[in-house]
Amino acid sequence: MPIRVKSRPLATPDRALSPVSVPTEVPLPDIAHEDVFRDVVKKLSIYVTGVVYLPSTFEQLRTTSAGDDLHALVNHLSTRVTNPAIVNALLALRWHYGSISDGRGISEARANACEIVAWRFLTRLSEREAVEFCLYEIPDGSQGDTSLTDEPADGGESNERSSLLYRPSRSPSPDRRSDNRFGSTRRSQLFQSISKLTISRHATEVEEPEDDPTESFTHLNGLEIAAIADAKRFLSQHVVQKIITGIWNGEIIFWDRLSVHSEKKPRFYNPSTADPFSRLRVPKYLKAYEVAFFVGFLMLYYSVLIEQNRYAITPLEILLYVWFAAFFYDEVSEYIDAGSIFYAADIWNLFDMIMIAIGIVFAILRFVGLYKADYTLVDIGFDVLSLEALFMVPRVCSIFSLSPYWGTLIPCLKEMGKDFLKFMVLVIIVYVGFLTTFSLVGREAYSFSHMAMIVTKIFFGSSYVGFDIMEEIDPIFGPPLMLIFVTLSSILLMGSLTGMLSNSFSRVITHAREEYLYVYSVYVLEASTSNRLTHFYPPFNLLALGIFRPLRLFLPSDDKFRQARILLLRATHAPIVGAIQVYEWFTNKANHDGFDNFRGPRQNSFKRNAAPPGGLGSRPQSGYRPRIPTPHATSAEVIHKPRPQQRVIDDYAGEAPSDVEVRISELAAKIDRLTTLVVALQSGAGVETVETVQT
């Protein structure tokens, strides 16, 4: 079934398209299995720029003939391309085009096109193949085609201290590496990386720059790039959410054992071969322990406030300080591991920072007051500590944000809060203007502070107060000014604020599921993909800090150093691991090999080669491929290093289709042809070259 792609004019950033431009043919990208990430980005950007040259919405690209060329690209990628960086490149381009504001909507259309192609490509794969493509990490270009499981250049210590958004640098300057911790700098680096490729996409003869422009994406997998790119529709797709849920439940893990030579790489969990201590990195158990930690935190907090000893520090207060220190150190470690982009995406981290700030202020006031015997300062310190409940109680209940119902409300409240703060700028301007006028006109009757309180009461609905005193302010100017102010505040401003917040809620609730799944996905990635092998739960992290941080100053971070950290982790976290094992023993189902929840081949799909001769249409239309069963895999069967190996005809993703599935696929193809014919008849002869499909 040969397919002819519709002709499209090539668009360049410096040349606007004319409605009567003569279209030129845009060939499908020729992506080889060995192509590095930068080459894949270049080739895909040429095609996307050529076929998406008019403003189109996401739904238009997904459901109308405007997305026909995207169908052709998906067919081409799923049948003839085996490069493992396909999803990474598409999502990187989605972020690049989404960051450009051209005023015409073309860049937004291209960003939507990249996102559509990415998730449609995953739907053509089996679930296990989708795991491999989504969790493939871009290797270091300076090391060639290395496996994603290779150790970093600085050895094992990099696995202990590197941030999640690690960026290797060819330059020895430490400043380039430290830039990863700041979100704006990180996003600027990623934007410049892809821009260097897309701007020079037509200059094939130009000499390549010395530094790899895609170096900023090194060691990022597809899901992390999707989170950075705000690809919320991609992350909300069922096939992607199943991967996220698999990571959340521990079916997909990145560390399978605690040993000196452990390597971080995505695996399917096998309880018979994996180390039980690897379950400490499962996001579900991390969240459960976090709730238990905050419950203990809250109990200590209430105990100290109820006791409130002004003259001495009690044992409970000392324990509260220990809890604060462990919480603070854990947040710092989480920020370093995840990077500021992922850390700032979780709204609860803002609560954590405020809680830490309140705790520091309380400790300073408490110690200074006791040292100087100034008990007024001590009382102020306890008053400051009482503010902690405003953030600690919601933080304890943050577990409810993982529920779809409560999780959809949080993005709405967040967006409404942003709009409210923007609107309050206008309110403050009006408020300051009238306050100044009323204070000057009625200076003989009311002081400035008294007038400020009266104006505030009027703004919050006590209009009768203004009518009672308007003649006392001034018999001439008081009544008309007060009438104008009451009208503005009670009717115009408050009505406008209510309508704006209503629109904000309606706008966000429409996509609330995508927003909730995005926040949920970011939390799972933040909790699971850390490069730190030994993660100590608080307050045990203070033991590691007190023991190993001083030793790091004069002892090398060798294998013995890592082994000591592992021994301490096993000694302190054995009860937690025991509780996890008991829980999994009671809740264990029939998934003895850890693979039953993910359908598809139990081997690396990157070993597939191009489709057999016969053109793009040689693959069955239904998208299913017969395959030979393979034995159950173990935990060691991971997403291996891709090798340029020929794909056999039988190595297809998925199971053989049923009769109903075949008929549905044939009916869908007929509907597509009928839709194309109707669109061609409506547009008129000669206006658009219709894609022809010959069977």
Q: What is the pLDDT of residue 693?
A: 38
Within a domain: residue 575? no
What is the mean predicted confidence (pLDDT) over 591-597? Answer: 51
What would the pLDDT profile of 101-120 be if each residue is shown by its tens digit?
776 788 889 999 999 999 99
Same domain flag for 380 and 422: no
Answer yes or no: do 9 and 50 share one domain.
Answer: yes
pLDDT, tens only, 637-660 = 444 434 333 333 333 333 444 556
pLDDT for 300:
93
Highest mean pLDDT among 139-148, 419-428, 487-496: 419-428
Task: Give residue 77's pLDDT.
Answer: 92
Is residue 561 a part of any domain in this protein? Answer: no
Distance CA 399, CA 406 (A): 10
What are the structure tokens assigned to 527, written together?
């909790």
* 676, pLDDT greater than 80: no
Q: Work out how many domains the chain is built from and give that number.
A: 3
The rounded distance, in Å, linking the Cα atoms of 407 and 404 is 5
Predicted confidence (pLDDT) at residue 301 exceeds the cutoff of 90 = yes
Say whether both 186 and 151 belong to one domain.
Answer: yes
Last residue of a domain, one of 350, 383, 402: 402
Structural domain contains residue 667 = no
Residue 278 lies in a domain: no
Please name the helix (run of DSSP H) or strand (run of DSSP E) that holds residue 480, with its range, or none: helix 478-486
Q: Which residue has the higher pLDDT, 540 or 263?
A: 540
Within this chain, do residues 379 and 416 fall inside the same structural domain, yes or no? no
Q: Do 233 and 294 fall into the same domain?
A: no
Report the mean per-residue pLDDT for the chain.
75
**30 & 163 share domain:** yes
Please report which confidence band the pLDDT of residue 339 belongs to, taking 50, 70 and 90 as the band edges. Answer: low
Say how far apart CA 671 and CA 432 lie, in whole Å. 63
User: In the chain, how long is the greatest CA-to-CA distance?
Assistant: 95
Q: Cis check for the bond before 539: say yes or no (omega within 30 of 0).
A: yes
Same domain, 34 and 67: yes
In this prediction, residue 195 carries a pLDDT of 56
Report which of residues 557 and 240 the model is more confident about.
Answer: 240
pTM of the complete model: 0.70
**Residue 646: predicted pLDDT:** 35
**Secondary structure (3-state) at 471:** helix
Among the ranges given (23-37, 308-322, 428-442), the one the predictor scored with the smallest mean pLDDT: 23-37
Helix axes 86-98, 127-134, angle to 10 degrees: 60
Per-residue pLDDT at 513: 82
C-alpha–C-alpha distance, residues 203 and 200, integer Å: 5
pLDDT at 488: 86
Contact yes or no for 84/136 (Cβ under 8 A)? yes
Range of the domain at 314: 283-402
Q: Average of pLDDT values for 58-71? A: 86
> Which helix or strand (DSSP H or E) is residue 284 part of?
helix 283-307
- Boundary (domain end) residue, out of 350, 367, 402: 402
Q: Decide: 270 and 638 in contact? Cβ < 8 Å.
A: no
pLDDT (average), residues 447-452: 88
Same domain, residue pair 130 and 38: yes
Q: What is the pLDDT of residues 116-152, one digit of tens each?
A: 999 999 999 888 889 999 999 888 754 444 333 333 3
pLDDT at 680: 65
Residue 184 has what pLDDT? 44
Does residue 635 lie within any of the structural domains?
no
Which helix (H) or strand (E) is 410 found in, with range? helix 404-441
Residue 603 in domain: no
Report the range of poorest mean pLDDT among 140-149, 278-287, 492-501, 644-653. Answer: 644-653
Q: pLDDT band for 609, please (50, 70, 90 cuts).
A: very low
Tell me the per-residue pLDDT of 216-244, one tens digit each, with 9 for 90 and over. 777 888 998 998 888 989 999 998 999 99
User: What per-residue confidence (pLDDT) applies to 342?
Assistant: 65
Is the per-residue pLDDT at 81 higher than 70?
yes
Verify that 256 and 354 share a domain, yes or no: no
Confidence (pLDDT) at 601: 57
Report which listed range, 4-18, 94-108, 628-642, is most confident. Answer: 94-108
- State the pLDDT at residue 447: 87
86 and 230 in a common domain: yes
Dihedral sign computed on CA atoms, order 639, 640, 645, 648: negative
Side-chain half-sphere CA neighbours of 651 within 13 A:
19
The answer to whether position 109 is within a domain reads yes
Q: Considering the domain boundaries, does residue 72 fall inside one?
A: yes
In one letter, which amino acid is 502?
Answer: S
Same domain, yes or no, for 328 and 451? no
Among 357, 380, 402, the domain-final residue is 402
Identity of the highest mean pLDDT range in 56-65, 133-142, 571-580: 571-580
- Residue (of 104, 130, 117) closest to 44 by Cα position: 117
- Same domain? For 372 and 416 the reply is no
The structure tokens listed for 549 are 């941080």
For a pLDDT cut of 70, what percent of the chain falls above it? 71
E strand or H helix that includes residue 267: strand 267-268
